[in-house]
Structure 1
């Protein structure tokens, strides 16, 4: 079994990733930790519980994490995911916040990994604030992880939030810097450009969401706003044309489930730029070896799209 901790800021793509993990027979989710990011922390917690309720898995513990970045001003993605993070389609029967665990998310991460040293992979699809605090609580935390999978950063300085910055890293650049420089476990990164190049066709989305199941109807409902925005961007911005739906967070998740899904990658030392009017939050790839870092991250380049799409289909069956 793949023992996972999911660190999320549950918007639409986090919801997709969570559902893909829940659908996998080889995954055991030991806990889900929530962070400020796509939406405010309380929304992220509520949204996570909604997804688990829809999948009949409210037995999985959910933990409330960091409410704001380490130093940066809070930033959210309400224009893309909806103000509440799940398309602004509230559910009056959604679970309440009383379903959350009492332990803070960062301490929960440390506890879970200490109980399962070398066995747990951490999948981070949010700003990396919780992870940065966790390594402060326990400096040995990263070396006890089996692996770390990150959705975030960019490899060609193409931003989606600032000129050169990807959202998750821009939300908390200091946290991203800490994680990329202090986590020395095997590290796999699904960057923004990588996810764009491996988008699924809109025609597939129609088939995927047309399945006659409660989960498919849930996903169709919460993703309607996001798909409308993304399709509009496809039509208007030829230079960043994706020609399909980019389920950003799901790419990091599927790699954690089955590394063979990633068919092309490269290893390189990475860091994060913390200064610069246009480059703060940009991921730095050190091809020249000037940073003198021994630890290298695996940068994903291509996925087996057929297998990825099958996992998407299975997630809403």
Structure 2
């Protein structure tokens, strides 16, 4: 069976690392490249973090590209520290802090996106795990770029007006609302969205998380270390997620990746036009679902509602059993 071709666009924090490992563990998937964007931390740290993940999993042959360092219009609200200042829990030390610079490709991430997708037209699934700046720049450089994709999977946005970064906005979209707007207006390829509320409503129990990170493998030991001092990976920490949806473990970006690997994980979804609000104080960056078809938009996207948690658990467990034996 032919392998699924993926390109991953990431702002590599802890949940991105988990999602990348999930793709690495899927034998039916071939990752063509990983493009990096600011978000959970600076784009330089994102590149370093991505290379750390690939190193732990013994997959350093996958090329990593440095991309956007900030949003299109306004400066985002920084610093971001929910995964630590470095995005991976502030617990890792490199023997050579500058080694990553020689390991990152010289080609810009946006150019790499266009090249990799153009070379494999109609075959690439693009999985976007951070702010959508690189994607917005790609469509402005090449307006035909979305048509060349097989499909697009996004972790971001919201479907109920509940936010985790602002009152009504989800982190990835709030970090660059203009880019989110551009992507959801101009990408007419099949598009699938794992919103913040979807991930929170499909949370897992904390005892599963404990079993997950206590597997005796390099990847699990890595995940155990980077979550060890991060308060949001403690069941005693009460976050907005816990207040709104109840306690539990949520690996946000992994839901979009799981759907890209095996769409049968999505048990229920809504298919409708969506719109990203750019105006207002409270509503800026919010994703609105037009299930009443009020907007003059023909392009529908698929917004996930329910997840097969048994299958999802299996993918998560497998993702921390790396590196794989041949």
TM-score normalised per structure 1: 0.96
CA separation in 2, counterparts of 1:202 and 1:78? Answer: 24
Is 1:102–2:68 an aligned residue pair?
no
1:52 counterpart residue number: 54
Specify which structure has the higher proportion of helix: 1
User: Cα distance, 1:218 vs. partner?
Assistant: 0.3
Select 1:167's aligned residue among 154, 165, 171. Answer: 171
Select 1:219's aligned residue among 220, 223, 226. Answer: 223
1:151 counterpart residue number: 155
The answer to which of 286-295 and 132-141 deviates more is 286-295
Q: What are structure 2's unaligned runs of at least 5 residues? A: 322-326
CA separation in 2, counterparts of 1:77 and 1:231? Answer: 24
2:115 counterpart residue number: 111
SS of 2:227's equivalent in the other structure is helix
Is 1:32–2:25 an aligned residue pair?
no
- 1:67-82 to 2 correspondences below 5 Å: 67-76=69-78, 78-82=80-84
Cα distance change of structure 1 residues 104 and 235 upon mapping to structure 2, 3 Å threshold: closer
CA contact (8 A) 2:129 2:154 kept: yes
CA separation in 1, counterparts of 2:124 and 2:259? Answer: 14
User: Cα distance, 1:77 vs. partner?
Assistant: 6.5
User: Cα distance, 1:132 vs. partner?
Assistant: 0.2
Select 1:6's aligned residue among 5, 8, 13. Answer: 8
CA RMSD of aligned residues (A): 1.5
CA separation in 1, counterparts of 2:208 and 2:242? Answer: 21
User: Cα distance, 1:226 vs. partner?
Assistant: 3.3
Q: What are structure 1's unaligned runs of at least 5 residues? A: none
SS of 1:81's equivalent in the other structure is coil
User: What is the count of residue pairs matched by the alignment?
Assistant: 317
- The runs of at least 4 aligned residues of structure 1 exceeding 6 Å deviation read none
Deviations 1:222-278 (A, max 9, x none): 122335466344378763244211100000001000100111111010010001110
Select 1:244's aligned residue among 248, 261, 281. Answer: 248
CA separation in 2, counterparts of 1:41 and 1:64? Answer: 7
Cα distance change of structure 1 residues 173 and 235 upon mapping to structure 2, 3 Å threshold: closer
CA separation in 2, counterparts of 1:57 and 1:26? Answer: 15
CA separation in 2, counterparts of 1:176 and 1:225? Answer: 31
CA contact (8 A) 2:242 2:248 kept: no
